[in-house]
Structures are given as structure tokens and as C-alpha cells.
Structure 1
């Protein structure tokens, strides 16, 4: 059973979301008109097709290694690393191996 996300509590982001075989799991834990913070767990072979967002997005990898294509350039952030996807940039996310990430989007 997944842990409930409580305010004013120290937690390990990696423990708050679990992998699902053959799928992508997402858990949004902060959402407001100013933006959102969402945890994702991608099983190997899963992906998000190319899309854009109207604001910058901060990806923080918390387990494994991601493959993120931004405007035709491929990046491989690993656990403990982060990457900012620029506003309106065409991007895609691929899981060559399973990985978890935290996505922070702040509307400008």
C-alpha cells in the first residue's frame, strides 16, 4: 500500500510511488492555479509521445535513468539529477529502463 502524502512530514519521494508492470503510474500531490508537482513511475518500454507545455517543467529523476528528447536532442538524466524542459519545447519521455521522476510545473 502506498504511503499517503502528508504535509509537514519528511518523506522519501522514491517510496511514495511504486512501479506497475507494463505501465506508467502518476501521483499528483500538489495542484493549484500556480502549478503542480507530480511523481511518475515508468516501467521499462513505456513512454510519453512528443508534446509541448506552455510553461517550464523541472524533471528530477529519483530512481533509474530517463531518456528525454527536447527539441531533437536526447538527454539521459539519472537518479539525483534534474533537467528543465523549456516552455513550449517539443519533448518526449522514454523509459529504456524503469525509472521514477518528480515533475514540477509552475505556471508563469
Structure 2
């Protein structure tokens, strides 16, 4: 799946309530044969999104002009950065550098938080 397609995925309306505690893994549920996305925060300077992936679903290879921090909040996934595989388990994260090819391969179903930091000076 292309990251551009994420904008078209089913999502719950609105961002999470500010100033209120929440359980991160409960922000988004799994749906059979689907990828779901929920915006936690979206600003001109970056975004934070929660995604859930059914078995066999992942993200296609891309090169982002911005740094992206990926954190697994449930399950396990394989993050590939410039051809190097790194398997992440629940609670683990990795920084995907700007201008490097990356994609996310499934390792069963999983949930992930993607934080994109935008900068016009890179």
C-alpha cells in the first residue's frame, strides 16, 4: 500500500481529545483484510498517526523528504530501510531517516504509530 492511499482509508473522525489520558493501543482497532488509519495530531510541521494492519498488509516502498519515527504498539512488523530489515516488537521503535527508501512488511497483524517531523530546511 502507498502512503498516499492512507488518506483514503477508513478512520475515526477527529483527533484525540487534548489534555485527556488514553490507552495508545486502544486508539485504533483491527479490521479483517484492512488497513485503518487514525490521525492523532496533524500540523503543518508534522503529524502523528495510528495505523492497524490486518495479516498480510503493509506499506509499499517509498522515499520521504522527512524523518519518520515508527513505533510498534501491538504485534510485530519488519521495517526495511535502504534494504536492511529490522524486526520490531511491541514497544520498540525506529527512526526512518529522510531521503532513504523504506517500507513496512507484515509479521502478522500489528498496530503502529508513525510520527512525521517536517522541516523546510533539510
TM-score (norm 1): 0.93
Superposed CA deviations along residues 35-78 of structure 1, whole A, max 9, x for unmatched, are: 00000001110021110110110001100001111100001111
Find out whether 1:78 has 2:80 as its counterpart. no
**Alignment RMSD:** 1.6
Find out whether 1:31 has 2:42 as its counterpart. yes
Q: Provide the rounded CA distance (Å) in 1 between the counterparts of 2:91 and 2:100.
A: 23
Q: Structure 2 unaligned segments of length 5 or more: list them.
A: 1-11
Moved over 6 A (4+): none
Q: Provide the rounded CA distance (Å) in 1 between the counterparts of 2:100 and 2:23.
A: 30
Match of 1:100 among 111, 115, 118: 111
> 2:71 maps to what in 1?
60
Q: Structure 1 unaligned segments of length 5 or more: list them.
A: none
Larger helix share, 1 or 2? 2
Q: Provide the rounded CA distance (Å) in 1 between the counterparts of 2:53 and 2:71.
A: 13
Question: Once the 2 structures are TM-superposed, how far is the Cα of residue 94 of structure 1 from its aligned partner?
Answer: 1.4
TM-score (norm 2): 0.83
Q: Report the 3-state secondary structure (helix = DSSP H, G, I; strand = E; otherwise coil) of the residue aligned with 1:97.
A: strand
